[in-house]
Amino acid sequence: MEEERRPYLSSFTDRHGTVRWRYRRGKKTISLKGEPGDPAFEEAYRAALEGREPKLAAIVKMPGSALPGTFRAAWAKVKRAPEWLALDSASVSKNTTLAEVFLELPVLEGEEELWGDMPVRDMKRRHVKDILGRFAATPHKAKHLLVALRKMIRVSLDEEWIETDPTWKINYRPEYKGWRAWTDVERKKFEAKWPIGSTPRTAYALALWLGNRRSDVARLRWEWFDFKKGTITLITKKGDKALVLPITPMLREAVENLPRKGETVLVTAYGKPFSEKSITGRMADWTHSAGLPTGCTMHGLRKSLGKMLAEAGATTRQLMETLGHDNIEHAELYSRAAEQERLARDAMAKVSKLHQPKNRRG
């Protein structure tokens, strides 16, 4: 018998007919789980003989591992979905960053438990509102974090890990302001400081007369321009959209006769393309040298073109196709602002005609 060869070890059959093992020494009795020969059993027996606590096997968490039904498991499924694989690199990077912010967020501030390790079924609407409330100081980050969270909820519904969507009809749409458009005075001041042919003026002209984001302005290639046809064809970095835009007389004047020092229109003093961050920093330096106030950004030039298009009567659809907007709300901001100004001007003109002083009436 096994218990005869090992001191203080004995077995018995419980009322359910199961054989149990125990260590008995004097008045001390320790129940041992498993069967002789099992690693856990052998460690528990040795620990009892030596008068110590059993050493538990170390649990090593593998990178990227996740328990089934948790938010980490849901995020792993999001990244394998066809919709995710079709996203452009910029969208993948942005969504990944925000998802990781959520996954590493403590369930309760100051506690160790993280949302990534929580079962999706445990999330309630109050939890969603609490999470959004933590980002009240950065409302646009909260808005996009909610988008990433909804991706996880959607796959969890498909997997039947949760029965209802706790984010259903939770609207988090902070007022959209963004960077302001440049004023006419600011644009004239910049143009007076930086003549045609200079790098600052070229960057300014590309951003203003094409209305592209900084990611596209920095990577514009000469081969995309067709000066004979009068068009430029580019694939936007964000959204991977194909845009065919006209080369306006203002843009042609600023770009056509430039020396071609590289594959991209804009190059640094070392002949290398600008990065997104470097072109943003350089624009800040150029506007400062021109005596412009803070807030005259490259994205503000994109806003300037949108404002000019709306004031010229461009439709919302025309604004979207020119500026590459996917969200109609962004394009409508320009249209509403221009329409409000026109309506107010026309309305006040009618009031003025009726109530102007008699000696000024025609």
Q: Write the pLDDT tens digit of every residue in 50-64.
A: 888 888 766 555 555
| pLDDT over threshold 60, residue 69 | yes
What type of residue sits at position 249? P
Higher pLDDT, 354 or 235: 235
Most trustworthy range by pLDDT among 131-135, 302-306, 339-343, 346-350:
131-135
| pLDDT over threshold 70, residue 342 | no
- Who contacts 301 (Cβ-Cβ below 8 Å, separation ≥6)? 181, 182, 204, 207, 208, 211
- Quick one: which of 90, 88, 102 has its CA closest to 152? 102
* Residue 128 burial (C-beta neighbours within 10 Å; 0-12, 13-18, 19+): buried
Separation CA 86–CA 110 (nearest Å)? 38
pLDDT at 79: 93
pLDDT, mean of residues 194-208: 94
Higher pLDDT, 295 or 351: 295
State the chain's mean pLDDT as an integer: 84
pLDDT at 3: 44
Q: Is the dihedral of CA 210, 216, 217, 220 positive or negative?
A: negative
Per residue in 250-291, pLDDT (tens digit) is: 999 999 999 998 899 999 888 899 988 899 899 999 999 999
Residues 332, 213 contacting (CB under 8 angstroms): no
pLDDT band at 2 (very low <50, low <70, confident <90, very high): very low
pLDDT at 110: 77
Per residue in 107-153, pLDDT (tens digit) is: 987 778 899 999 999 999 999 999 988 888 887 788 889 999 999 99
Per residue in 72-116, pLDDT (tens digit) is: 999 999 999 888 888 877 788 888 999 999 999 999 877 788 999
pLDDT at 349: 76
pLDDT at 78: 94
pLDDT at 258: 92
pLDDT band at 306 (very low <50, low <70, confident <90, very high): confident
pLDDT at 326: 63
| pLDDT over threshold 60, residue 177 | no
| pLDDT over threshold 50, residue 1 | no
Separation CA 83–CA 85 (nearest Å)? 6
Phi-psi region of 271 (alpha: psi -120 to 50; beta: other; left: phi over 0): left
Q: Among residues of the chain, what percentage have pLDDT more than 90?
A: 36
**The two structure tokens encoding residue 281:** 């920093």
Higher pLDDT, 198 or 354: 198
Window from 3-17, 142-156, 179-193, 218-232 with minimum mean pLDDT = 3-17
